Structure formats: C-alpha cells, structure tokens
Amino acid sequence: MIFTSIEFLTFLAVVLTVYWLRRERRWQNMTLLAASYVFYGWVYPWHAVVLAASTLIDFALARRMAMHREAARRLLWLSVVLNLGLLGLVKYYFSINVPLAGVATAAGLGGDFLLAKIVLPMGVSFYALKKLAYMIDVSRGTIKPSASWMNFTLFVSFFPQVIAGPIDRAQKLLPQLAENRDWRVENFHAAWPLLVMGLFKKLVVADSVRVIVDQVFLQEEPTQLLVLVGVLGFTLQILADFSGYTDLSRGIAFLFGIETSENFAAPYLSLTPGDFWNRWHMTFSFWLRDYVFFPLRRAMVRRKHLPAGIAVVIPPLFTMLLSGLWHGTGWTFVLWGLYYGVLIAGYQLAGVRGEFKSARGWEKVLAWAVMFCLIVFGWLVFRAPSLTWLGHVLLERPFTRTAQNVTGSLVALAMIAFYALPLLLKWLIDRSAPRSIVLHGSYYALATLAAIVYFNSSSPDFIYFQF
C-alpha cells in the first residue's frame, strides 16, 4: 500500500476508527502495532516475519546489555552485524543475483532456484538504522532499554514511517508510546496542512515532472541542454516526492496523536554543503553525524601524530561514502557520496562555514548560487543511469543540435517552472505572512482541489521506497 492509493485511505480510516474507540494506551498501541504489521506485510506477509524477528532479537539484546554491562560491547557488535547483514542482503542481493543463479545451476538446483527469485523486504534501510541508533544509545548508557516489547516493536514498525522514514530516535517516540493519548482538535489542525501538502507535492508536482525527467534520462544520446532541463526537473521532483512523503507520514502520525520529526528545512536555500545536509533528509543526516562522523572525527583528533588536515578530510569522505552506499549499489551512488564528501571537506579546509552572519547580501546570493549549482550537478550524478552515460553526456554530447531541440527543451523547462511555482509561492507565504489566515486558507483550498483533480490510484511509488 502506498499513501496515495484508495486502498490505503480505506485502511487508514478503519485503523483511526478502531484506534480512537478507546482512550486507553494499551488498546491504542495494540491497534497501531497490528495495523503496522498488516501494512508492512500486505503484499508479502513473510516480510512482516523478518521485521518481527529482527526487532525481537534487538529487544532481547538491549535488555541483556542493561543486565550485563561487561558484555554490552559484544552484544552491540552482534546487533550491528545482524542489522547490517540484513541491510547488506537487501541492498546488494541483486548485484549477486546472476552469480547466485549460476552457482545454483552448477549445483543442479536449476536457474529458477528460490534464492535467485526472492522478493526482498522494503524499508530495511530505514528501520535498521532506527534499531541501530537505539542499540548504540543503550550501549552508551544514553537511554535505558525499553521494558515493553510492545512499545519497542511499535517504535520500530510504526507504519507511517516504516517504509521510508523519518528515522526517529527512541528518545522521541518511545516516551509518546508510553503515554495515554486523548483526541484533541489540535491533532487535526497539525495534520491537515501536512496531508494536503504531501498529496499536492506527490500527485501534482512530483508525478507530473517525473514524466519529463524519465524521458530525458531514458535517452541514450541526449544533448547537454536537454540533460540540463532533465536534471533541473529531477531537482524539483526528488524534493517534492520525498518531502511530500514526509509530510504525509507526519500528518498521519498526528492523526494518532503522535509527533514525528521534520525531515526537510528548505534545503535548496543552503549556502554550503554542510548546510545542505543539515536541511536535507535531516533524520538520516543527523544519524550519520552522531553515529559515524563525530565518533570518527573524535577518534582521529585523539591521534596526535596525524596531520590536522587528515582529521578534516577523512570523516566527511567516509561518512558521505556510506551515504552513497546506503542509497544504492551502483557506481553513480558511490561517486555521488564521494562528491559530497569532497565538497564538505573542501569547504571546511577553506574555512567556509554555513552561517555567513557577517557576509554582505551579494556574498550570500553568490554563495547560494554556487551551492545550488553544486546541488544540481550532484543530482545529475545521482540520477544518471550509469557512469558511462554520465561521461558521454559531459564530455562528448553537443550542447544542442537543432532549433527543434532547443524549442522542445525550453518547453519542458517552462513546464518544470510551472510546477515549481506553487512550492515557491508556499515558501513566500510562510516567510512573509506566516499568520495570514486568508492566504494560508486560500492556498490549502486550492492545493486540496488540485490534489483531487490529479488523484490517481495508480500513482508510482515514492522515490525513496527503492532505497
């Protein structure tokens, strides 16, 4: 089920009705837990079995950590191996699918051997990181392990965010799950704008621009002008698609009286690469910062014999390489991760920080323009079908060929700009008139109408479902 389907809307209505029948915490948590496993295992029930098994293992390991502190390090490493092993299987299985089929054939099992056709569970990238953060915090003594298997299992599997985040920490969700929740009208007031914007971003903006973007990146020999238009479209598409998912996820959670984390803070207004990652997919960025970047940097700083520059360069390179590998298995994702690692390290070595508090207006505009171009180029690497395709586009393809090519590219660019305008208008309204009931009410009314007009039960999956 995806959030924009009639099937999910029916499911949500049923769950909300059952959930609010009683204002008792255990009833509500049991309802949410059952709903989360139905949601996750809707197509392939065995996926729910994998989720439940990995969750209960970590619940038991965390409890044992608290009772046997001397074994905490070994238990943590066991959890890391199990979670990263499951994550690695999901990420890299298809890379070894053909060799595995060959081995199966050589062993007399046939090319259609079960493991060569297995359908791997979705969302592992997100709930594995959620569980790892919990296990690391327990091992550090930052938090105490949950005493309730139900609350912990619900924390991991909470259906609005189990497929694609946000990657909330235990410190945020578990206390809410341990409290009684009463319906308040404020829940609806918080949820409705998020639900409207989530549907609008996905159905009206992202799915419309996707048609243009896919046509560009499916071409074997596009001109550089057409690729520029395509990557600008993808820059809009991926923001609308992923932030739209997050809005829907947060809005649905609010309907259950639960507040989840924000994931985006106007990332395309960033002035530096570090600033961008503090605004883009924030829960994932903060996960990398707290559990990879900071520990690695502290470890390198403590080694006095290392040159100071090494402690600046290696942590962002390694952290962003992991980010690239987390996103996908292709070389384009590896290059994309290293690209941002180099940018972050380069800006830090140059002494450029994200504040620009004392900078003049034109300096901030210049910093923004440079950073936006770097972001767009990064999305080109990210979206490219292959490194070979990318190399041919950058080094061999002409900027344009014919007048018809220029006209077609400009028409596509105009369409992309048309779909970008409503999001720009929303930002301007939020910034210039944050308390204007008339402006906000009119905007949400029009956005609701547009989402209804564009509603399509066969809307494609959200982009980050594949990660």
Q: Are residues 279 and 389 in the same domain?
A: yes
| 74 within domain boundaries | yes
| 182 within domain boundaries | no
Q: Are residues 72 and 207 in the same domain?
A: no
Q: Which range among 18-22, 404-408, 448-452 shows the weakest confidence by mean pLDDT?
A: 404-408
What pLDDT is recorded for position 27? Answer: 94
- Cα 96 from Cα 94, distance rounded (Å): 5
Q: Which range among 125-129, 145-149, 298-302 shows the weakest confidence by mean pLDDT?
A: 298-302
**Of 281, 305, 327, 440, which is the active-site residue?**
327
What pLDDT is recorded for position 344? Answer: 94
Q: Are residues 404 and 259 in the same domain?
A: yes
Q: Are residues 165 and 194 in the same domain?
A: no
Q: Are residues 355 and 386 in the same domain?
A: yes
Residue partners of 76: CB distance under 8 A and separation at least 6:
61, 65, 135, 136, 139
Active site residue 327: yes
> Could you give the angle at the alpha carbon of 93 between the alpha carbons of 376 and 239, nearest 5°?
25
State yes or no: pLDDT of 102 exceeds 80. no
What pLDDT is recorded for position 250? Answer: 96
**Cα separations in angstroms, 220 against 25, 105, 335, 394, 405:** 56, 34, 20, 13, 15
Split at pLDDT 50, 70, 90, the class of 89 is confident
What pLDDT is recorded for position 113? Answer: 47
Q: Are residues 155 and 266 in the same domain?
A: no
| 177 within domain boundaries | no
Q: Are residues 154 and 204 in the same domain?
A: no
- Cα 212 from Cα 166, distance rounded (Å): 28
State yes or no: pLDDT of 118 exceeds 70. no
Q: Are residues 158 and 205 in the same domain?
A: no
What pLDDT is recorded for position 396? Answer: 87
What pLDDT is recorded for position 114? Answer: 46
pLDDT digits 0-9 by tens, 168-211: 999 999 999 999 898 888 899 999 999 999 999 999 999 999 99
| 269 within domain boundaries | yes
| 176 within domain boundaries | no
Q: Are residues 157 and 198 in the same domain?
A: no
Domain endpoint, select from 139, 170, 201: 170
What pLDDT is recorded for position 151? Answer: 95
Counted domains in the chain:
2
Mean pLDDT estimate for the chain = 89
Split at pLDDT 50, 70, 90, the class of 225 is very high
Domain endpoint, select from 137, 170, 203: 170
Q: Which range among 96-100, 277-281, 400-404, 415-419 shows the weakest confidence by mean pLDDT?
A: 96-100
What pLDDT is recorded for position 360? Answer: 77
Q: Are residues 93 and 233 in the same domain?
A: no
Q: Are residues 291 and 435 in the same domain?
A: yes
What pLDDT is recorded for position 88? Answer: 82
Task: List the domain range (segments joined by +) for residue 353.
Answer: 187-461
Average pLDDT over every residue of 99-103? 60
Q: Give the tokens for residue 385.
A: 């079908």
| 347 within domain boundaries | yes
Q: Are residues 351 and 316 in the same domain?
A: yes
| 303 within domain boundaries | yes
- Cα 14 from Cα 441, distance rounded (Å): 28
pLDDT digits 0-9 by tens, 41-83: 988 888 899 999 999 999 999 999 988 888 888 999 999 999 9
Q: Which range among 184-198, 275-289, 298-312 shows the weakest confidence by mean pLDDT?
A: 298-312
Q: What b/e string do you get for 105-136 counting C-beta neighbours within 10 Å, with b at 16 or more?
A: eeeeeeeebeebeeeebbbbbbbbbbbbbbbb
What pLDDT is recorded for position 170? Answer: 94
Question: Which of 229, 247, 269, 216 has the alpha carbon at shortest distance from 375?
Answer: 269
Cβ neighbourhood burial of 146 (10 Å; 0-12, 13-18, 19+): buried
- Cα 42 from Cα 33, distance rounded (Å): 14
What pLDDT is recorded for position 229? Answer: 95
- Please give the residue that has the higher pLDDT: either 117 or 119: 119
| 126 within domain boundaries | yes
Average pLDDT over every residue of 135-151? 92
**Amino acid (1-letter code) at residue 49:** V
Split at pLDDT 50, 70, 90, the class of 120 is low
State pTM to two decimals. Answer: 0.90
Split at pLDDT 50, 70, 90, the class of 439 is very high
State yes or no: pLDDT of 458 exceeds 70. no
Average pLDDT over every residue of 340-366? 82
Domain endpoint, select from 170, 201, 233: 170
> Could you give the angle at the alpha carbon of 239 between the alpha carbons of 237 and 244, nearest 5°?
95
Q: What is the 3-state secondary structure (H, E, C) of the chain?
A: CCCCCHHHHHHHHHHHHHHCCCCCHHHHHHHHHHHHHHHHCCCCHHHHHHHHHHHHHHHHHHHHHHHCHHHHHHHHHHHHHHHHHHHHHHHHHHHCHHHHHHHHHHCCCCCCCHHHCCCCCCCHHHHHHHHHHHHHHHHHCCCCCCCCHHHHHHHHHCCCCCCCCCCCCHHHHHHHHCCCCCCCHHHHHHHHHHHHHHHHHHHHHHHHHHHHHHHHHCCCCCCHHHHHHHHHHHHHHHHHHHHHHHHHHHHHHHHCCCCCCCCCCCHHHCCCHHHHHCCCCHHHHHHHHHHHHHHHHHHHHHCCCCCHHHHHHHHHHHHHHHHHHHHCCCHHHHHHHHHHHHHHHHHHHCCCCCCCCCCCHHHHHHHHHHHHHHHHHHHHHHHCCCHHHHHHHHHCCCCCCCHHHHHHHHHHHHHHHHHHHHHHHHHHHHHHCCCCHHHHHHHHHHHHHHHHHHCCCCCCCCHHHHC
- Cα 305 from Cα 308, distance rounded (Å): 9
